Amino acid sequence: MAFNVSLISPYTNETAQGLIRKAVLTGNTFDLVTVVPGVKYKEALNIMSNTVTVAAASCGWTPAGNVAFTQRDIEVVALEVKDALCEKTLEKYWMGQMMKPGAPKDEELGAVLADSYVEGVKVKNEHLVWQGSKSQSPADLVDGFLAVLQGEAYVPCSAAATNTASDIIAHVNLMIAAAPEVLSTLPDLTMFMSIANFRMYVQAIADKNYFAVPANVGTELSFTNPLNGVRFVGVAGLSGSTKLVLTYAANLVIGTDLVNEEEKFDIWYSRDNDEVRVNIQYKLGTQIQFPELVVYNQA
């Protein structure tokens, strides 16, 4: 008897918006930085800086100081995932690999498929917001944070391009020493690095017995160094990269829409084509509010 996939469409129709939010708004980077929803195409991030002047008290009114308003544009790109799956392939191979033991139920397939695409989109987005580049070949559709930094007045650091267990602590300390003092006053000062570099740093700290490393650091991929107050985070988006990025987490901005009917997450069985079809539509973009408050090992 053929497997009946007719219940896939009702499943995704009922939970489409929740699936979009889960796919686009979750992930270790997305959970830490500033996310701006409702961006249709391009939107200005309004930034205010206030230089306060303190003077000797006197009669009269002599205004002093400077409140400056600037803008940085964040632009989102419309992205999509479209796929077609033959029911026979699902039945002979995919179903046997992915479904729970026992006879599969009709309503299970929609949930399993949806979860697999949610995870796939999260992985792709995590990479894009860090390492996406429109100028590389082949080009990405989105410029990630590393691409945004190029040409900006960030704080360069002489930390080496590659890290080893013997020198990663020194490299991290160089970056912290290069940071503008104002960064040390912010509550979410964060060093972003690849998961491989994060584990290397944690192991180096433990080997030196500088302080007790939290027991759950291996699963959380995050901890705060009590010696300098910096939170260290391993992010999948920097996988394969030697880059270390130090800033306050809210300085990094991800733009999306999520309030537009154009964004969708649909999985349904097409009788006309005799296949399961997938259509995921969403928008994504990145920006950095204050590049001058980013320390970056450009080597």
Rounded CA-CA distance 91/75 in Å is 42
Task: Tell me whether residue 139 is in a domain.
Answer: yes
pLDDT of residue 89: 66
pLDDT tier for residue 268 given thresholds of 50, 70 and 90? confident
1 pLDDT tier (thresholds 50, 70, 90)? very low
Range of the domain at 131: 1-44+75-299
Q: What is the per-residue pLDDT for 229? A: 87
Q: Residue 299: pLDDT band by 50, 70, 90 thresholds?
A: low
Give the residue with greater pLDDT, 130 vs 13: 130
Choose the weakest-confidence range: 65-69, 148-152, 293-297: 65-69
Whether 276 is in a domain gets the answer yes
- 37 occurs within a structural domain: yes
Question: CA Rg, the chain, in Å?
Answer: 24
For 161-211, write each residue's pLDDT tens digit. Answer: 677 888 889 889 999 999 998 888 888 999 999 999 999 999 898 888 776
Q: Mean pLDDT score of the chain, rounded to an integer?
A: 83
Tokens of residue 221, six digits:
């991929």
**Which comes out higher in pLDDT, residue 268 or 124?**
124
Structure tokens at 92: 């002979």
Average pLDDT over residues 273-299: 88
> Is residue 176 within 8 Å of 255, Cβ to Cβ?
no
Q: What pTM value is reported for the model? A: 0.84
For residue range 133-161, list pLDDT tens digits in order: 999 888 999 999 999 998 788 887 766 66
Q: Where are the beta strands (DSSP E) in the chain?
A: 34-36, 42-51, 66-75, 77-86, 155-156, 189-194, 222-224, 231-235, 245-248, 252-255, 264-270, 275-288, 295-296
CA distances from 185 to 182, 195, 239, 248 (A): 5, 26, 29, 10
Question: Which of the listed ranges 50-64, 90-104, 191-205 does the model predict with the highest average pLDDT?
Answer: 191-205
Domain assignment present for residue 227? The answer is: yes
Q: Say which CATH number the domain at 89 has.
A: 3.90.1690
Interval 55-69 mean pLDDT: 77
- Does a structural domain hold residue 55? no
Q: Given pLDDT bands bounded at 50, 70 and 90, which one contains residue 103?
A: very low
Which two structure tokens, joined as six digits, stand for 197?
Answer: 């570099």
What is the pLDDT confidence band of residue 92, given thresholds at 50, 70 and 90?
Answer: low
The answer on pLDDT for 99 being more than 60 is no
pLDDT of residue 142: 95
At residue 35, the 3 state secondary structure works out as: strand
DSSP secondary structure code for residue 100 in this structure: P
Instruction: Count up the domains in the chain and report the number.
Output: 1
The answer to the question of residue 170 being in a domain is: yes
Return the higher-pLDDT residue of 242 and 254.
254
Answer whether residue 57 is part of any domain.
Answer: no
Do 122 and 26 touch, CB atoms closer than 8 A?
yes
- Residue 58 within any structural domain of the chain: no
